[in-house]
């Protein structure tokens, strides 16, 4: 079945460092891809999305490009802040009308001042 694999955490970086969180997926069709963020004690928030190959999703300085040839959707940010400390989830859903989101196991990110 469909699945998402993302790099294990925790990831600890200094403020202003460059961030990459790797994510690869397995899907039989043409999924939509997402990054969600979960701040401590809160629910998930959609960070960015991409619905077809070569699409780039971006939000709050974060970017991810849908790479069909490598089945990847890596999350990047050029300069992280302490406020970016959270758990990040890569996810997919098959088709625009699908109801189910399949999540990766999450990557905990901690940013040192």
Partner 1 sequence: NAGVMQNPRHLVRRRGQEARLRCSPMKGHSHVYWYRQLPEEGLKFMVYLQKENIIDESGMPKERFSAEFPKEGPSILRIQQVVRGDSAAYFCASSPTAGPFEQYFGPGTRLTVT
Lookup: tokens for 103: 């999540």
Q: Which one, 76 or 94, has the nearer CB to partner 1?
A: 94
Minimum distance of partner 1 from residue 80's CB (angstroms): 22
Spatial neighbors of 45 by CB under 8 A, at least 6 apart, are 36, 37, 38, 39
Given the DSSP bridges, would you call strands 56-59 and 62-65 parallel, antiparallel or unpaired? antiparallel
Binding of partner 1 by 32 (CB under 8 A): yes
Binding mask 41-80 for partner 1 (x = CB under 8 A): xxxxxx--x-------------------------------
């Amino acid at each position: 079945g469909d699945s998402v694999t993302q790099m294990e955490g925790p990831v600890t970086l200094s403020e202003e460092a460059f961030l990459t969180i790797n994510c690869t997926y397995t899907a039989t069709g043409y999924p939509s891809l997402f990054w969600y963020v979960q701040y401590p004690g809160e629910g998930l928030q959609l960070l960015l999305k991409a619905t077809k190959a070569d699409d780039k999703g971006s939000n709050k300085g974060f970017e991810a490009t849908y790479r069909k040839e490598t089945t990847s959707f890596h999350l990047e940010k050029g300069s992280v802040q302490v406020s970016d400390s959270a758990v990040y989830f890569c996810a997919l859903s098959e088709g625009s009308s699908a109801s189910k989101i399949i999540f990766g196991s999450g990557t905990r990110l901690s940013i040192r001042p």
